[in-house]
Structures are given as structure tokens and as C-alpha cells.
Chains A and B, each alone.
Chain A
Amino acid sequence: MEPHVRVDRITKRFGRTVAVDGVSLDVDEGSFTTLLGPSGCGKTTLLRTVAGFYRPDAGDVFIRGVRITDVPAHRRNTAMVFQEYALFPHMTVAENVGYGLRLRRVPAAEAAQRSRQVLELVGLVGQEQKFPHQLSGGQQQRVALARALVVEPEVLLLDEPLSNLDAKLRIRVRSEIRGLQQQLGKTTVYVTHDQEEALAISDRIAVMDRGRIQQLGTPLAIYHHPANRFVADFVGLANFLEGEVSGPGQVRAGPVMLAVPDGARAAGPVTIVLRPEAIRLHAQAPAGAPNVLRGRITAMSFLGTLARYWVDAAGRQWTVDVPSPGEAVMRGEVFLEIPRERIHLLAAD
């Protein structure tokens, strides 16, 4: 099947800095793709290139196989939700939402009906005559979304749309956005630096760094099978150990010998990635389990849904998360158990 949106070897420079460096990305129809990365990684630049605000120095953008690289921004149908919403402050909610339809010369009756439908979708019926400054942040966000959706864009672009909302609202609105996207089957490209947000709402995530896509995959794959140390470090928390494959299913990391999944990696230096919640903590040595280390708790931080421990073992510090800790607090001597199937190996950088 032909991808709905295709980004083909896009390079974009600003002066001497290369913001996007030869990136290719296919976005399937109806999918929700997230560009995730730290600030300056090129994610916003890539999104804005799709919107037509930037002309790439090299490469092309296609929609349904049609090259649109030279189509000016105002003639692409790539509606965008801006980070700061960019609502027209002198227009009411209705006028903001209707603006794109007005430019498209949609007859008034049809425009009114479409606006109403979209406002219903985002739950803003009754607010039509208000001005943006009379709305809460969350409501402004919905107007921005409605304004983009009403023109029935080929692809919906969202540039960190939740960054101006408080933490609770952010979680609510993100599931609303995802719900709407699935309900409408709208092809969506979403930019964020928040890895949790990306994991929560995406079909696929493209993790970006220094102008390149480091890994493209489902949230599960990105989290559990990061392609490199950057991805492992940026998405979630991880313990890293430098080691060497010493035999089949065996890795030596300093004084520690670990049993790893069979057929993981044949030979050579590796980086071991261990998520904090993958490690189990025991007060007594567990009987019969492989990969057990004796350690000592040096610090603890209670986070409600989990307790985070810092443990000294085998000459280094480990971060270990104990889920659902209740009121139990562990102290002093402990044993770390590392289930072999939760160990992820990377070729050493």
C-alpha cells in the first residue's frame, strides 16, 4: 500500500546547522505517528517542512504519491495545531473555526454545519461567540484542534499541542486527541519531547536526535528493544552496563556474569540495558534464580505508584523500581534479581 505521507531523504539546514539530516519517513493512512526527541533534534523542523513552512534543502515530501515539495504552505491541505495554539485573538471561536472554510469558499450553510459538527466533536458547543482570551487553556487547545479538523486536512499536524497545559489536563486531553484521531481515522503526525506522551498515544514513534531518526517503531518496541543507547536513555529510565559476550547466552560485565536471552548476540563488546522495573529486589537471596547480586540500599524515593531504590552492588550503582510498594520500605542488605528475558543488549558504541 502506498504511504499517505512520504518524507523522502529530507535535509534542512539553518546557516551551518543541519536541523534535519536526510530523513525518510512513511506515514500510513489513518495512523498516528509521533516524532519524539529532545529540543533541537529536528522534529519540529521536519513537521514544519511537511506543512510547507520550510523548503527543504534536499529531498521531497509526497502526499498520496504526489510531490508537494514546491506547493506553498497555503495550498497544502496540512492543517496544523500550534504549540501556542495561534488562535486569532480578534475572532470568536466560531470565526476561528470557520476561517479555513471561508478561505476555501465553502458555502455559508455548509460551513456552519461543518463547524458545528467539529465543535460538537471537541465539546465546545455553546462557546461559539466567545473570544479566545475568554477561554481556559484546555478550551483554547480544543478550538485550535477544531480549526484544524474542520478543513478536513489530508494530514493533521500537531506541534507539542499539550505543552501549555497543566499535568492533569495534559493526560486527559491527550487521550481525547487519540480518541478523536481513531474515531475519524485521520492520518496524524505529532511532535513531542515527552516520552510518556509519545508512548501513550502513538501507533508508531520516530525517535529523533541530531537531525536523524534513531529508531522507528511501535511504543512497545521502542521501550523494550531500543535500537541504541540514545533511544534507551531518552525513552524511559535504564541501567547501562558495559560488557563483553563471553559465551553462548553469557555476558561478562566487570565482576558480574549475566545469563542473557539465548541467541542475543554472538560476540564482542555490548551495552546491557536494564529497565529499573525489570530488576526485582529481595530481602533474602531467592533460591534457584540466575543473575542474583548482593547489594546495599543507599537511597530511596517514594513516588506513590512505585518506590525507587538506589542500590550499590558489584561495584556500581543500580536504579531499581519496585511497583506498587504499599507501605513496605526496604533497607540495608538486599538481593537484586535480574530476569534474563528482560535484559536487552546493544552493540557497544
Chain B
Amino acid sequence: MAVARWGELRRHAADPWLLITFAGAAAALAIFVLYPAFRVLVYPAWQDYLAIPRSLRWLQAARNSLVMMVISTVTATFVGLAFAFATTRADMPGRRFFRSVAMLPLFAPPFMVAFAYILMFGRQGLVTKSLFGLSANIFGWHGLWLVQTIAFFPLAMLIIAGVLDAVNPSLEHAARNLGADEWTVVRTISLALARPGITGAMLVVAISVLADFGNAVIIAGGFPLLATEAWFRMEGMGDLKGAALVVAMLLVPTAGLFLLERFWVSRRVYTAVTGRGSRIERPATPGFLKWTVLAVCALASLLVFLVYFGVIAGAFTTVWGRDWSLTLDHWHLAADRIASLWVSVKIGALAGLITGAVSVLVAFLTTRPFQLRHALDFLAVLPGALPGVFVGVGYVLAFNTTIIGGTMWTLAAALAFWHLPMGYQAAAARFKQIERSIEEAAVNLGATGLRVLRDVYLPLLVRALVEAFAVSFIRAVTNVSIVIFLIAPGQVVATFVILNMIQNNIWGAAAALTTMLLLLTFVAIGLTWLSVGRIVRSPGVG
């Protein structure tokens, strides 16, 4: 009944301005989300698609991507599960500490883990060469495996912790009361109830691993992968058709996993229903499990620290691996390229503004009476299924010859719309929390459709708006997978400069510039926190 009554209200509140706004938003999504994807898929001729099985290199890349997806997803989810466990049970020591540590990789630029591990574990590695005198080669699949595990376990942790936390302690006590020992409780109640969350986490991590460009391009070496292959095609051979073909291949598994997560797993969560009303202590964690989890978390935390330590140390070390004396020389070199940081900020701010505005507007419009609102909703979450390289190639094909081609607007639009799902979903969730009668009260007192948006929803959504801006901004300034395709002449951004430096072995300056980027990120987080009183989480992908 509530649904029907809402539908009626919407019809009454509908007015021409609302209709125009809806049409505008739908057109924007069609142009900036749908059209580039469409361009990628139709750019190669159908014969090119048929020729895929005959290209050994591509089959190899596809196979490698799938293998990485499986092994990195398993390990990242395992570590994420350990962290989720360690942070949601009151009797685990150091839970706050582990929670903070797990946030750190989320704010790192998506190539930073790989870069830091080259510094720590590579041929000139601090740990491998200087500490243990080993001659290690981190380049290749095993290096990437380690990097992706550390880079993506926080995603798994966030999802699983959310589910574990929602498991009602009374259920665990009930199981104890019925005769289950501690270990049986964990196995048959806590973990069993969290199973849909674990599956969901695996799917999200798998998408991120498949789409991971930043780490792969740095550390995979000669190991061909779909995500990097597109870039090599275009950069090395100017083969736009090949690039389109590869990213289209990459879209199949990512879109498949995305749909699976959205329409299957997310409907199977048993725990989300209960609120957080009762905060009774959970039964004790079995000792064996406790120490295993702590050991896993401690090791992973150490590896997370090395990510930050490696990059920051690299920025102050004269010649990494040979001359460990401290220097500020790299900062001078980095300062020469500081202009690129401002370009990043400019584009990031632009992307953030677009993401924030479009998120809130689309979230509002999808609650209105329009028949097409489900299509609008779909378009707003669709970018979540698209790997960054896919979007990059798509925007090249869609807009390079248009008026915004080769300007910073293409890049800003690509980043803004790629990050739309996070902002949109947060805003839509917020809309759901707002009692419908509040809008009805406004209408009852005389407010029209857009007036309701202005007077009631916007003030209540300021927080969602700021957060959408912040997440989009942070991810835009640290992005590489899209940037690398759409870099505009005279508008070179910091991540692009850093990537070039790393590939040319100018590690010190790369580390210095990365450190500046980190500072920028944490300033953005701090400012957001000051303005909305909450830490933003920016899942770092691709």
C-alpha cells in the first residue's frame, strides 16, 4: 500500500520543470555512460571478434587475467575476512588499530602498493637485498599476487565486517545456550550467517583485480594481462581497434561478476534486517582462532606499513639500494613537476563537482514517477561494471573528435561518470532513510516538485553530496587507468608523471611526487571529515 500511495503522490508532484530535469539527466547519462561503452563494442568489426581465439597473445592475457583474478581474490578475501573478524569482536586485541590499518590501502593511489613493493622487495629492495642479501625478482605474477592481495583486502574487509557486525549476538548466545562450543558457534552461526557477505566481497574484489591497471602496469613485467594489454596496444602500436577488442574482452567477466553481485548475492544477505539496537557482548572467540587471526592481521599490517614507509623513505633516499643517505634532491625534481599536481586538483575538483551534483540529482529523480526511472538507476550504477581502461578507451573513441576531445573536460567527465555509482548509491541510500511523510508534509503545506528537492532533500543530503565529491575527487587525482588514455596535451596530471618516472627508474622523484599526492589525499579526507564529521572511504580500484 505504501508503494502505491507514493506513486500517487509523485504523479501529483510532477511538473514541467521536473520533466525537463529528468530528460536532461537521462541525456547526460546516455551520452557519458552509455555512448562510450557502445562505441567500444561496435568499434571492432564482428570479424575481429571472431578472430580472438586465433590470437595467442590475447588468449594468454585472458588466461593470465583469470588466474590472477582467482588467486588474488582468494587471498585478498582471506586476509579481509581475518581483518573483519579482528575488528568486529570485542575480545580481539588491537581492533581499532587493525581497523585503521585496513583503511590505509584504500587511500593509496592505485599503483602505490606495486611501487612500494618494488622498493622493498625488488632487485634493489630494502628488505630483499639490503636486509637479507637476496637477489629477488618481484616482477611477474607472484609480485602482482602479493600486491593485489594487500591492495584489495580492505574492500573485502569492509563488506565482510559489515555483515559480521550485523550478526545478532543473541543468536550466538542462543547457540551457546543450546550446547555449541565456541568454535562451533563461529563455524555454524557467525561465519554461516556471513557467507553471503563473503561471497559478495569475493565478487567485488574479483572485479577490482580484473580491472587493476595501476599495479599491473608497474609490477607485472612481461606478464600479459587484459587490463594492461589495451594500453600497450594503443601506446605501443597505435592499435585502437586492438585496444577496443581487449577491453571488450575484459568487460565480459567484470560485467558478469557485477550482475551476479547486484542481482544475486546482495539479495541473499540475511543479516541486514536487524538494526544495531542491542549491543550485547558476543561470546568469547576461541583461542586458536583468535591467535591465527591476529597473526594474519599482524603480517598484513606490516605489509601495509611497508607500502607507506617504502614510498616516503624513497622520497628521501639518495640512491635507493645503493646510497641510503638522506637527501631532499628528489623534492626539487618533484617540485619541477608540481604543475601537474595542480592540474590533478583542477580536474579532480571538476570531476568531484560533477559526480556530486549528478549523484544527488539522479538519486532524487529515480524516486519520481517517471516510467524510465529504473533505466536511469541502471545507467547510474552501470559504470561500476566497467573497468577503468574500458572507460578510457570508450572516451577516446566517443569524444576525441568532438569539441571536448583533447581537453581536460573529457578526462574530468570520464572520471566523474566512472565514479558516479558510489556517489549515487550513497545518495540513494540516504533518500531511503528520509521518511516519505516529510516530503508529503512539504507538499501538504504547498511545495511543488523541485521546491521539495530544494527545501527538503538538498539540506538533508549535504553530507552525501560532500562525500560524493570527496570520494570522486580523491579517486580522480589518484587515477591512472583512465588518465593514461585521456591525458590532454598541456594538461598532464600528477599520476601520469609519476608513472612515467617509475617506468624510467626515476624512483626518488616518483616517490616524492607520490608523497605529495598522498598529502593532498589526506588533506581532502581531513577537510571532508571536518565538514561532515565522518571519515570517507574511498575504495581504490584500477
Query: Which of B13, B435, B438, B446 is close to A103, meaning CB atoms less than 8 Å apart?
Result: B446
Q: How large is the interface on B (under 10, 10 to 19, 20 to 34, 35 or more residues)?
A: 20 to 34
Bound together, the chains give a CA A15 to CA B435 distance in angstroms of: 23
Query: Contact mask B7-21 → A, CB, 8 Å, 1/0?
Result: 011011100000000
Q: Across the two chains, which residue of chain B brings its CB closest to A76?
A: B444
Chain A residues near B447 (CB-CB < 8 A): 74, 103
Chain B residues near A90 (CB-CB < 8 A): 459-460
Q: Which of B107-115, B350-358, B448-456 contacts A (4 or more CB under 8 A)?
A: B448-456
Contact at B444–A74, with CB atoms within 8 Å?
A: yes
Bound together, the chains give a CA A164 to CA B447 distance in angstroms of: 26
Q: Does B51 contact A (CB under 8 A)?
A: no
The smallest C-beta distance from A286 to any residue of chain B, in angstroms, reads 52
Contact at A103–B445, with CB atoms within 8 Å?
A: yes
Given contacts A15-B4, A103-B451, is CB(A75)–CB(B446) below 8 Å?
A: yes
Bound together, the chains give a CA A54 to CA B1 distance in angstroms of: 12
Q: Across the two chains, which residue of chain A brings its CB closest to B1?
A: A14
Chain B residues near A87 (CB-CB < 8 A): 438, 441
- Complex interface residues of chain A between 137 and 186 (CB less than 8 A to chain B): 147, 151
Q: How large is the interface on A (under 10, 10 to 19, 20 to 34, 35 or more residues)?
A: 20 to 34
Bound together, the chains give a CA A82 to CA B438 distance in angstroms of: 9
Bound together, the chains give a CA A88 to CA B441 distance in angstroms of: 9
Given contacts A86-B435, A147-B445, is CB(A53)–CB(B451) below 8 Å?
A: no
- Complex interface residues of chain B between 7 and 40 (CB less than 8 A to chain A): 8-9, 11-13
Q: Does A100 contact B (CB under 8 A)?
A: yes
Chain A residues near B444 (CB-CB < 8 A): 51, 53, 73-74, 78-80
Bound together, the chains give a CA A89 to CA B5 distance in angstroms of: 23
Closest 6 CB pairs of A and B: A100-B445, A86-B437, A86-B441, A103-B446, A14-B4, A90-B459
- Complex interface residues of chain A between 1 and 28 (CB less than 8 A to chain B): 14-15, 17, 19
Contact at A54–B445, with CB atoms within 8 Å?
A: no
Chain A residues near B488 (CB-CB < 8 A): none
Chain B residues near A84 (CB-CB < 8 A): 435, 437
Query: Contact mask A121-148 → B, CB, 8 Å, 1/0?
Result: 0000000000000000000000000010
Q: Does B442 contact A (CB under 8 A)?
A: yes
Chain A residues near B5 (CB-CB < 8 A): 14, 45, 48, 53-54
The smallest C-beta distance from B346 to any residue of chain A, in angstroms, reads 32
- Among B435, B438, B441, B448, max chain A CB count under 10 A is at B441
Contact at A73–B455, with CB atoms within 8 Å?
A: no
Contact at B445–A151, with CB atoms within 8 Å?
A: yes
Given contacts A19-B1, A80-B444, A103-B445, is CB(A88)–CB(B12) below 8 Å?
A: no
Q: Across the two chains, which residue of chain A brings its CB closest to B446?
A: A103
Query: Which of A15, A53, A100 is close to B440, meaning CB atoms less than 8 Å apart?
Result: A53
Query: Which of A83, A99, A151 is close to B455, meaning CB atoms less than 8 Å apart?
Result: A99
Chain B residues near A55 (CB-CB < 8 A): 8, 11-12
Query: Contact mask B352-371 → A, CB, 8 Å, 1/0?
Result: 00000000000000000000
Contact at B440–A86, with CB atoms within 8 Å?
A: yes
Q: Does B443 contact A (CB under 8 A)?
A: yes
Q: Does A52 contact B (CB under 8 A)?
A: yes
Q: Does A104 contact B (CB under 8 A)?
A: yes
Contact at A100–B446, with CB atoms within 8 Å?
A: yes
Q: Does A72 contact B (CB under 8 A)?
A: yes
Bound together, the chains give a CA A331 to CA B1 distance in angstroms of: 50
- Complex interface residues of chain B between 284 and 340 (CB less than 8 A to chain A): none
Bound together, the chains give a CA A122 to CA B437 distance in angstroms of: 22
- Complex interface residues of chain A between 307 and 348 (CB less than 8 A to chain B): none
